[in-house]
Amino acid sequence: MSNQDHNLSTVVNTSMGSYPVIVGRGVIDNLGVELRKTGQRGRAFLIADEVMFANPVRRAHEALERGGFKTDVLALELGEFNKNLDTVNTVYKWLAELHAERNDIVVAMGGGVTGDLVGYAAATWLRGVAVVHVPTSLAAMVDSSIGGKTGVNMPNGKNLLGAFHQPKLIVQDIEHLKTLPAREMSAGWAEAIKHGLILDSNLLDKFESMAQQMKTLDGDEPIKAIRRSVAIKGQIVSSDEFETGDQRVLLNYGHTVGHAIETVTGYETFLHGEAVAIGMMAAAGIAQRIGLINSELVDRQKSILESYNLPTTATNLNADAIISATKSDKKSRGGTIRWVLLEGPGKATTRKDIPDDVVLDSVQSILS
């Protein structure tokens, strides 16, 4: 097995075709070669978050050129504050000026906002051009880059404009994580730990026993854990591409209360992964109160999250406001919330029959 094959984490199968996810150290240098393997031709349009250090962007540019792709680069300031149509229009104008065509490729390099916005631009430019993701944050690696969800915000809500647009390739270079702030790394681990909690008890065991090694990215174990987390997300996307069944919704464990906390705090207090960690504690409280799990698993989840420096409670928030915000949750059907709940380590289910008093008690329990 070649080193490049060894770095293959998973192949995601979708109605738009299959695509590989490459995870490893230094794999950015193989970007052009891997893209050529997918059968893509044409020019490459590399759009990077300008907070990326010049060296990784230069390496990506050079790798694309080595693969035979004439490449242009656009650096943009990207964040939730400008994840909107104005920024998408900036991308459109750049693509228009350079005469980007249907057979060309857009490459998104940055965190989750970059992938969402650039992915949306690719999905809508000329009714859709190929996109490649080079996620540089842990949250984007294990979660948002996989699955084809793209989106931008409107003044009255997050991700109200969007499209499913599957990439042709995802390349995840672990070296990019070395420059991430510790808080952002922790927020990314929340999504990976979630995968262990809902689907893989062995992965959960590793997160529990190797927290220090994971956090410092030392050795092979963190890469293996990230690859496994990526494979779990890829496996679910392959089985439930458009979130119409019961599989993909499991990925929203912790997100009902997590999104509500983000909403009531105006997205200014918690990073997404931090809010999800608190949301997972609320969901665990619900599962315990209705007899799905015991207090031991609740305590274990809390301990694991805290070992990655994640919050498990929130202060100065109103329980009624949080519960009200959950009513607009995207997993709702006919006004009834579909709660994603644990049945055991590595095992999750959905329930719609949760009494209001159980929800209230559980939400109050995470408000210290």
Domain count, the chain: 2
| 259 is known as an active-site residue | yes
Interval 272-300: pLDDT, tens: 999 999 999 999 999 999 999 999 999 99
Interval 222-252: pLDDT, tens: 999 999 999 999 999 999 888 888 888 999 9
| Together in a domain, 27 and 150 | yes
| Residue at a domain's end among 129, 145, 179 | 179
Q: What is the pLDDT of residue 2?
A: 47
| Together in a domain, 230 and 100 | no
| Together in a domain, 30 and 170 | yes
| Together in a domain, 166 and 24 | yes
Catalytic residue (choose from 61, 149, 176, 194) = 149
| Together in a domain, 166 and 140 | yes
| Together in a domain, 162 and 200 | no
Parent domain of 33: 3-179
Answer whether residue 330 shows pLDDT above 80.
no
Question: What does the H/E/C string look like for the chain?
Answer: CCHHHHCEEEEEEECCEEEEEEEECCHHHHHHHHHHHCCCCCCEEEEEECCCCHHHHHHHHHHHHHCCCCEEEEEECCCHHHCCHHHHHHHHHHHHHCCCCCCCEEEEEECHHHHHHHHHHHHHHHHCCEEEEEECCHHHHHHHCCCCEEEEEECCEEEEEEEECCCCEEEEEHHHHHHCCHHHHHHHHHHHHHHHHHHCHHHHHHHHHCHHHHHHCCCCHHHHHHHHHHHHHHHHHHHCCCCCCCCHHHHHCCHHHHHHHHHHCCCCCCCHHHHHHHHHHHHHHHHHHCCCCCHHHHHHHHHHHHHCCCCCCECCCCHHHHHHHHCCCCCCECCECCEEEEEECCEEEEECCCCHHHHHHHHHHCEC
| 272 is known as an active-site residue | yes
Domain of 119: which CATH number? 3.40.50.1970
| 3 is known as an active-site residue | no
Catalytic residue (choose from 7, 30, 153, 252) = 252
| Residue at a domain's end among 154, 179, 204 | 179
Q: What is the pLDDT of residue 333?
A: 60
| 176 is known as an active-site residue | no
Question: 327: pLDDT confidence band, cut at 50, 70 and 90?
Answer: confident
| Together in a domain, 196 and 171 | no
| Residue at a domain's end among 158, 179, 200 | 179
Answer whether residue 187 shows pLDDT above 70.
yes
Question: 5: pLDDT confidence band, cut at 50, 70 and 90?
Answer: low
Domain of 312: which CATH number? 1.20.1090.10
| Together in a domain, 336 and 204 | yes
Catalytic residue (choose from 61, 83, 153, 191) = 191
| 255 is known as an active-site residue | yes
